[in-house]
Amino acid sequence: MRIELFGIARARAGREAVDVEAGSLGEAIRALAAACPGLEPDVVDGAGRLNDSFLASLNGAVFVTDEATPLEAQDKLLILGAQSGG
């Protein structure tokens, strides 16, 4: 599956996207951290979870937070900064 990075996550990783093998959101985030060590600790915490200031969007359609969320090989996970304000 492909993980696409935006904003700070892209800057910390030094690339736009990472291809990983993962069957769940938790596995994908841990694989992302292993592939891009620069994401720790700002984007991914030491336990391999996405920090609260970032969001994961599954296929650009829905935000997911449950580490057990199943993922398929053809899925795209978008990692975005959770910005507030207006």
- C-alpha 67/C-alpha 80 separation (Å) is 17
User: Is 60 domain-assigned?
Assistant: yes
The parent domain of residue 22 ranges over 2-81
So what's the pLDDT on residue 85? 46
* Domain harbouring 9, CATH code: 3.10.20.30
Q: pTM of the predicted model, to two decimals?
A: 0.92
The Cα 40–Cα 47 span in angstroms is: 10
- pLDDT tens for 21-62 read 999 999 999 999 999 999 999 999 989 999 999 999 999 999
Whether 86 maps to a domain, the answer reads: no
Alpha-helix runs per DSSP H in the chain:
8-13, 25-35
The strand ranges marked E within the chain are 2-5, 17-19, 54-58, 62-64, 76-81
**For the chain, how many structural domains are there in total?**
1
pLDDT of residue 83: 77
Mean pLDDT taken over the chain: 94
